[in-house]
Chains A and B, each alone.
Chain A
């Protein structure tokens, strides 16, 4: 069921009146407050803000890894608060690709096996999985590193494997939490190029958290988060 035409069809992600707080003893810690955000289909959005401003929290809410204390998150027409844990997991597997700052590859598995992980949850047969894995790895330029273990790859290469893992299921939305945060300028640049290509040529919608103005310059738009609220610019 597609929502009615208009702005909602172009807005892949709709965050409405979202609040997130954690209970620490008697104290309630507000992380996100009255937050509204829309991300269009095919948009490359950068999310910036000081440490602790709630960027990762927001990303987790959009990716269905966490639930808001109040408000609603809608992605691709699906209201996430309506899904139970199991439904959320299945939804994540289908629609979301995560890229993490520290790559988070499984050290025991080869690059190909790491990329294959999300496909294990699908009904694809072994040959199809293999084909998809090779395709994903060749898109990130690592078609020749199938059998390498993470420890045998450079940081930049590991991150590209991480991106391959994120795109192997052909998800609509890529959520990247500081994907270049742990990389040097050159490798970081390669990753940014890759994300840019994925957005422009493969039509992926990307939300990227970053501390690096150089990285955010590659995005279509930058949103600033400060103390849990979206602001026009970060106060000095």
Chain B
């Protein structure tokens, strides 16, 4: 396959075949026994542009007329031009220019990409493929060089463009495929980490997503309409309203009492509290045991804390960080305003990787003046409570094999590596590291929004391709204890990673076949607390 093939009208650029995929270890070492990827229906194919790889993350409807095609291309080009203007894209202009201009195409980064290796090295998933397509479009259609206009526009461009390797045709299919392709990279930035020249192919993907969202209004609906738009409107990307939150909090208080025998009042909207704890609202709905565990720990340690019931303030997520700078800024400001109103001393982010990165790191240059409220991860505080014995722990209660998944956003992109490990070393006698780990970890496959994207057959792609390396790592880590009789635990201190691991394990039936469970970090802490009599982890698959 050549790069310029992205513009050619073919049924599908690549096909994902079981036999091409990276092999998995036992008990998934027979590719024929592994579940096949769902195919799109004919109706879906007729309706949407699916000629990239037969998978749909966005699902762009096919154009009905030549005029519609032209508008689409023109808008794409106008958006592309805006990416290079200071007023529209000061946010990432310097990193973007660097990454576009200084890649020497040595391909050193290729083998660090989980999607590329898992797919059996399909060309379109190569970290350098997307950037190269974009570079060619820019060189041919955007740059004002006297040599670059194509012959159709009166320049000698044809030959020159071929000579300089900028040969590509911009048509509807190129643009639609590029939009889909921007959602085959998890923005894990492992490729960027190995690049000797500081080029960041993940960043280029991020910028392509932005151009589609900010100029054409195109983004996966789970990130946009049901994500950031819904969060700003009803308070949470989950659709959770303040009223529903209040019901869940009551439920959590009852649940804590049932599990621990203690009645804990979960503080909400407590003015002047030391800490405003912000969770990914998905925790309240899918894994309430996680915010419950936080409440138990904070109560036991006598921490002065509160949750918020303010719109947006009870959902730490900020999907804008993956696809849209304006949405990122709006949500970051809403988060900070919640804290400002409550007059808390600081915001502490619970177990959600991208919320960490968005709220603490990226939004640091969005929040100015009195909105710049101190923000930190909850992990150093937990480390302090556990390692300095501010809560009593009996590690024998966690005497089962445990491994740690490093969420990219928290670790490679933020440098929070040791607090979670120090805790696990203290509370889990059978803690074992995955390889590679820490800042060199592999993404769970659900990064950059993938974990919540449910479009058509995209969830299958996520389990078969983007999560494949993580599954392999987990199976290899528990290689010696792989029998389902031995219960094992993957600690993933991130809601999105947990969502992805749940789907991945469901897809391959990992709980039944290998006895591998998953959950957060605080659940393990509470499970080991001396004054909690019953086990907190119930080993009930959900």
Query: Do A and B make up one complex?
Result: no
| Chain B interfacial positions (CB closer than 8 Å to A) | none
